[in-house]
Amino acid sequence: MNFGFVIDNRNCIGCHACTVACKAENDVPIGVNRTWVKYVEKGQFPNTRRVFSVMRCNHCEDAPCTTICPTSALYKRPDGIIDFNNERCIACKSCTQACPYDAIYIDPETHTAAKCNYCAHRVDVGLKPACVNVCPTEAIVSGDLDDPISKISKLVAGEQVTVRKPEKGTIPNLFYVEGDHASLLPLETQHSRRYLWNSQATGVGHHSGNSGVYSTVLDIRESSNPSKISKNDRVRKQILTRVYDAPSKGVLWGWEVAGYIFTKAIAAGILAFPMLFQLTGWVNVSDSVLWITAIMSLVFLGLTGVLLIKDLDQPKRFLYVLLRPHWTSWLVKGGYTISAYGGLLILWGVLKYFELATLTELLIWPILSLSVLLAVYTAFLFGQAKGRDFWQSPLLSVHMLLHSVVGGSAALLIMSAFWTDILPLVTLLKGILFWSLVVQLFSFAAEFLSSHPTEDAVKTAHMITHGIFCKTFWVGVVLCGNAAPLLLLSINSGLLAVATASILVLIGVWFSVRIWVMAPQMVALS
């Protein structure tokens, strides 16, 4: 058994009966939708026509939302329905980033993830989904795709059907008969705030009501230099107009996520170098340096945990990640990495306090290994977010590792300006910081000069280098965070110059992380 939907656009009249029935049946709050109808107008007056597309969860065969969910709050039933359990949900919003179809929202009343669940409570008693029951033209067809005599199977087999974003590999079970690309592909139409009945509040969860800050979805043609807009783009903008749509969910991972990546990078890097130096014997590292950097690492690790919890819309459930883990999610693997790193560091401190030198030395390798994983695991988490193409870059793990290297060495060099015990490490740290910054600049060049595989990724890269984030990127990241520190380190070896360069590096790391988190979320998914 494998339940799915067919939307027959030959019959859809855009009446919104499905939207209303869905809200009534499932008690969906105002401002969010499990099912909605998107309107797109085509042509130029007076030769115009309107096309409709019903939008909802696609109940994918290979659903990325269930893979990334850390607590199995989203799961696939034996009948193919992707359902959810809001009692397990921690509202981390990973599922909203993983869904390429913009189908999942954070319920503003329960503060948990929700979406179309095929009216599973009705299906279980032999009834059809509410939207199917009320559709006056039978434009919505539901049923078992594995049953060859069912109406839905015959439609899929006998008609030319379309699915949304097949390149994602999710294998959607929502099919469109005569699906119009202008309506089904988000980037075919300009996403603006100027359309029918769009005065309702935007934003979800703890971002609800912050529409001006968190709900901006930009069109590349609006954020670019108008002189560089092609004639084809102008024509497309004129003849394809989005006139009704659900409000944008906007940026769901905000400064908290950027902050946790930043603090995590420093937590991983600030202790790794003293321990590595001690292990290799490159330089004599005093016990005081090891103690202080270990404490600093734990402090930044603690800040990482605080920011992670703060980002949850159900912060009281944060332990579910460890107690009810779903091991396919990198959020779970990351949670255990943070816990293991912190636990081993505390154990190392206890053993060192009791002067058990052999055991403390044995712990260095596991701690160093976990520090690398701590630095990069978020790249794999972001890689599971299939809705955000820019995060699929194979260079993301390189960027995050470099953030930890430059962030950790910069933090240590700042400490050297007022703490003499760390002075023996300065020469090595300066060399590491300098060459890491060089490599980082090359990694940026590789990221933005190479071709990106999808239009969403291209749009995001353009937004960073030429659009809304261009000043922050070129001034904050490239100039302040990389070029200026390299110049300072090249011409002046004094502690003040080195500390200044290091402060600039940390500023650059913050801006870089902030951009990488924010920019991909500003591209429309529906």
Flag whether 287 is in a domain. Answer: yes
In this structure, the answer to whether residues 233 and 260 fall within a common structural domain is: no
Same-domain check for residues 56 and 121: yes
Determine the Cα–Cα distance for residues 36 and 23; give it in Å rounded to an integer: 10
**Dihedral sign, Cα of residue 453, residue 456, residue 462, residue 464:** negative
CA distance 520 to 217: 10
Answer for the pair 429, 282: CB distance below 8 angstroms, yes or no.
Answer: no
Same structural domain, 475 and 342: yes
Residue 287's alpha-carbon distances to 321, 349, 421, in angstroms, are 35, 11, 9
- pLDDT at position 448 is 95
Same domain membership, residue 97 and residue 42: yes
Residues 9 and 122 in one domain: yes
CB 324 within 8 A of CB 88: yes
Whole-structure pTM value? 0.91
Q: Please choose, from the candidates 425, 521, 508, the residue with its C-alpha nearest in 3D space to the C-alpha of residue 474.
A: 508
**How do beta strands 3-8 and 174-177 pair?**
parallel
pLDDT at residue 348, rounded to an integer = 96
Largest CA distance in the chain: 86
Do residues 235 and 261 both lie within one domain? no
Task: Give the SS3 label for residue 198.
Answer: coil
Let me know whether 379 and 439 are in one domain: yes
**Contact, 277 vs 285, CB < 8 A?**
yes
Residue 341 one-letter amino acid: Y
Same domain as 412, residue 314: yes
Let me know whether 226 and 263 are in one domain.
no
| 250 belongs to a structural domain | no
- Which of 244, 263, 296 marks a domain boundary? 244
Q: Along the chain (526 residues), what's the average pLDDT of each consecutive run of 10 residues? A: 95 94 93 90 82 94 97 96 96 96 92 95 95 95 94 94 94 94 81 52 51 44 40 49 75 93 97 93 91 97 96 95 96 97 97 91 94 97 96 96 97 92 93 97 96 92 94 97 96 89 97 96 88
Structure tokens at 51: 């096309």
Q: Are residues 443 and 481 in the same domain?
A: yes
Tell me which of 196, 213, 244 is where a domain ends: 244
Q: Which residue type sits at 464?
A: I
- Give the residue from 244, 269, 301 where a domain finishes: 244
CA distance 170 to 165: 9
CA-CA distance, 2 to 98, in Å (whole number)? 22
Read off the CATH number of the domain in which 396 is found: 1.20.1630.10
Domain count within the chain: 2
Asked, for residue 129, whether it belongs to a domain, the answer is: yes
DSSP-derived letter for residue 356 is -
- Residues with Cβ within 8 Å of residue 42, at least 6 apart in sequence: 48, 49, 50, 51, 180, 182, 239, 240, 241
C-alpha to C-alpha distance for 273 and 277, rounded to whole angstroms: 6
Domain presence at residue 363: yes
Report the alpha-carbon distance of residue 128 to residue 25 in Å, rounded.
12
Contact 55, 246 (CB under 8 A): yes
199: domain CATH number is: 3.30.70.20
Question: By residue range, what is the domain housing residue 183?
Answer: 3-244
Residue 249 lies in a domain: no
C-alpha count within 13 angstroms, C-beta hemisphere, residue 434: 15
315 and 186 both lie in a single domain: no
Give domain status of residue 59, yes or no. Answer: yes
Same-domain status, 507 and 487: yes
- Over the Cα atoms of the chain, what is R_g? 26
